[in-house]
């Protein structure tokens, strides 16, 4: 009788062990991306086997989302079958659209991460052409048995903090929060910041309804100095992850250009998505699809920036605002339909990418959808002038925060009075341009400093959650 009772337990135990053992190691190809506005060249830096097993579900290795400016495939050399693929965007992909890229060449560090293959593979990199169609731009080969594959076992720079674990990494979306500019004495502050912003994320739909499908981890390598660099004000810090304000000349844009430092720290936790918390008060942040997002943790509007920028990183959402100054030069030539799920060039109304959502309001929502655009733009221009003057005079950050509160209150009142408020349509003004691009609703966290995503953005986020986790 005892044997018969133990048998099912032993079988289950063996199955669990087998399942865990089947999860392959994680391989990473670091490479250099060099070029300018018209040319780009790629070269291999190194190939690494990371310390932890692959965090993803091995039944969800192929990306069919059609998101990203770039797309890479891992193909078996013998069978030519695609073993793994992902779309992504990059720092280079943003930089090449700036004025600087027209005059100089620069090199950026980038990485591909994928499950360790059994044998030699070809890595194929594709980029969207002028018509937004993916075209091959580079390929290289990787042999996992090559003696020069780095299999060293480095020590972690800091302990891994479990913010939330709801299951095994391969079954969940694994979200990693990294700290930059926190001294060893500020380790507890980092953990408190990470836990606070985690709660902000999971109080926002649709993350709120899908909280149990996420694991959240945190690592904070200690910094010699508190805070990160802000070159426009003469502040330079050698922070562990290299995050800095003023990326591409935009005072609020926070990025790191040190991909190697980022990867060497992140590799000690399971992750698919990364957030960098900058230990600063000054308003700022950034987000790049399938790379990372950033936020200045101590700003009064950190909650908004955190969720907004994570929307870029997690689901490839575009900025819907168009009156704030940006570093990018508008694309020349005829418009093509953007790959981002929440903006459209509205080239063909019957094929509007979110047309199924518009149908619910077909009797009341015209396409394109009228809104009080001129009044909004007039008010926004005045706010931008006041904002620029505050930065020019280097006024205290609380004055900037007060201006943002004033702006938010005015916009909430203005949008609530719109005839089509809360309805899905096609509202002109998005993607940094006043004309020619349209957003799904009159307001969304990708448009203003509000606290909610529109229906189209929520659907796009849910699609990525489904792509990386089991229900």
- Residue 379 in contact with residue 410, Cβ under 8 Å? yes
> Domains, the chain, ranges and CATH?
23-142 (2.60.40.3250), 161-315 (3.40.390.10), 349-451 (no CATH)
How far apart, in whole angstroms, are the C-alpha atoms of residue 190 and residue 280? Answer: 11
**Nearest residue to 367 via CA among 381, 350, 379:** 350
Average pLDDT value for residue range 375-390: 94
Higher-pLDDT residue of 16 and 400 is: 400
What pLDDT is attached to residue 329? 61
Residue bearing tokens 């309001």: 361
Segment 183-195, tens digit of pLDDT: 999 999 999 999 9
Helix axes 455-468, 302-315, angle to 10 degrees: 60
Separation of alpha carbons 277 and 286, rounded Å: 11
DSSP structural state of residue 170: G
The pLDDT confidence band at residue 12, using thresholds 50, 70 and 90, is very low
Record the tokens describing residue 396, joined without a space.
Answer: 């205290």
User: What is the model's pLDDT at position 365?
Assistant: 87
pLDDT surpasses 50 at 339: yes
- Alpha-carbon span 232 to 419, nearest angstrom: 42
CB 384 within 8 A of CB 323: yes
Q: How many CB atoms lie within 10 A of CB 39?
A: 9
Residue 64 class from Cβ within 10 Å (0-12 exposed, 13-18 middle, 19+ buried)?
exposed
Count Cα neighbours of 280 within 13 Å in the Cβ-side half-sphere. 28
Please give the helix or strand (H or E) that residue 123 lies within, else none.
Answer: strand 121-128
pLDDT at 334: 80
Q: How many CB atoms lie under 10 A from the CB of residue 378? A: 10
Region 412-437: what's the mean pLDDT?
95
Q: Quote the Cα angle for 438-442-447, to 5°.
A: 75
Q: How far is the C-alpha of 59 from the C-alpha of 81, rounded, in Å?
A: 15
State the pLDDT at residue 443: 98
* Angle separating helix axes 302-315 and 187-201, nearest 10 degrees: 70
> What would you report as the CA-atom Rg of the chain, rounded to the nearest whole angstrom?
23
**Closest CA relative to residue 87, chosen from 372, 469, 464:** 464
Distance CA(57)–CA(61), nearest Å, equals 7
Closest CA to 279 of 296, 294, 301, 291: 296
- Angle 317-429-96 from CA coordinates, rounded to 5°: 55
> CA-to-CA distance for 69 and 129, rounded, in angstroms?
9
pLDDT value, residue 3: 41
CA 440 to chain CA mean position, Å: 20
Q: What are phi and psi of 461, to 5 degrees?
A: -65, -45
Find the range with the poorest average confidence among 45-59, 328-342, 408-422.
328-342
Quote the CA–CA distance of 470 and 466 in Å, as a whole number.
7
What is the average pLDDT across 419-425? 94
**pTM for this predicted structure:** 0.93
CA 287 to chain centre: 5
319: nearest Cα among 341, 336, 300, 297: 341
Considering only residues 314 and 361, tell me which one the structure prediction assigns the higher pLDDT: 314
Binning pLDDT at 50, 70 and 90, where does residue 328 land?
low
pLDDT for 471 equals 78
- The C-alpha angle 202, 193, 396, rounded to 5 degrees, equals 115
The alpha-helical segments, DSSP class H, found in 110-241 are 187-201
Give the tens place of pLDDT for each residue, 13-53.
Answer: 344 444 445 899 999 999 999 999 999 999 999 999 999 99
Could you report the per-residue pLDDT of 269-286, keeping only the tens digit for each? 999 999 999 999 999 999
User: Contact at 8 Å (CB) between 262 and 165?
Assistant: no
Pairing outcome for strands 214-219 and 173-180: parallel
Q: Which class for 116: exposed (0-12), middle (13-18), buried (19 or more C-beta within 10 A)?
A: middle
Under the banding of pLDDT at 50, 70 and 90, the label for residue 11 is: very low
Q: Cα separation of 279 and 220, whole Å? A: 11
- 163 DSSP assignment: E
């Amino acid at each position: 009788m005892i044997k018969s009772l133990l048998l099912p337990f032993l079988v289950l135990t063996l199955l669990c062990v087998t399942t865990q053992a089947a999860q392959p190691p994680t391989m990473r190809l670091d490479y250099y991306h060099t070029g300018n506005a018209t040319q780009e060249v790629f070269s291999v830096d190194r190939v690494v086997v990371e310390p932890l097993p692959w965090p993803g579900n091995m039944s969800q290795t192929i990306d069919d989302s059609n998101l990203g400016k770039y797309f890479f495939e891992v193909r078996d050399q013998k069978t030519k079958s695609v073993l793994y693929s992902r779309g992504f965007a990059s720092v280079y992909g943003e930089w090449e659209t700036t004025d600087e890229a027209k005059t100089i060449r620069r090199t950026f560090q980038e990485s591909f991460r994928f499950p360790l293959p059994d044998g030699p593979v070809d890595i194929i990199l594709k980029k969207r052409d002028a018509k937004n169609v993916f075209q091959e731009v580079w390929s290289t080969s990787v042999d996992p048995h090559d003696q020069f594959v780095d299999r060293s076992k480095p020590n972690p720079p800091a302990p891994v903090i479990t913010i939330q674990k709801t299951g095994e990494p391969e079954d969940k979306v694994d979200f990693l929060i990294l700290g930059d500019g926190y001294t060893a004495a500020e380790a507890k502050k980092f953990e408190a910041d990470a836990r606070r912003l985690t709660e902000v994320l999971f109080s926002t739909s649709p993350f709120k309804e899908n909280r149990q499908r996420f694991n959240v981890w945190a690592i904070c390598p200690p910094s010699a100095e508190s805070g990160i660099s802000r070159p426009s004000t003469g502040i330079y810090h050698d922070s562990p992850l290299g995050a800095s304000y003023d990326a591409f000349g935009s005072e609020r844009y926070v990025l790191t250009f040190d991909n190697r430092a980022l990867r060497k720290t992140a590799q000690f936790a399971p992750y698919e998505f990364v957030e960098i918390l900058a230990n600063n008060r000054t308003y700022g942040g950034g987000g790049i699809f399938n790379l990372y997002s950033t936020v200045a943790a101590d700003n009064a509007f950190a909650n908004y920036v955190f969720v907004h920028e994570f929307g870029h990183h997690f689901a490839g959402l575009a900025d819907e605002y168009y009156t704030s100054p940006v570093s990018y030069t508008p694309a020349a030539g005829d418009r093509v339909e953007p790959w981002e799920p929440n903006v459209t060039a509205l080239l063909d109304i019957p094929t509007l990418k979110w047309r199924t959502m518009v149908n619910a309001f077909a009797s009341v929502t015209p396409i394109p959808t009228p809104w009080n655009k001129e009044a909004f733009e007039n008010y926004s221009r005045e706010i931008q002038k006041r904002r620029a003057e505050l930065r020019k005079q280097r006024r205290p950050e609380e004055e900037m925060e007060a201006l943002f509160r004033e702006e938010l209150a005015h916009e909430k009142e203005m949008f609530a009075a719109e005839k089509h408020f809360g309805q899905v349509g096609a509202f002109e003004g998005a993607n940094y341009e006043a004309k020619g691009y349209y957003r799904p609703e009159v307001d969304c966290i990708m448009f203003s400093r509000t606290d909610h995503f529109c229906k189209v953005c929520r659907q796009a986020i849910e699609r990525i959650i489904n792509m990386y986790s089991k229900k």
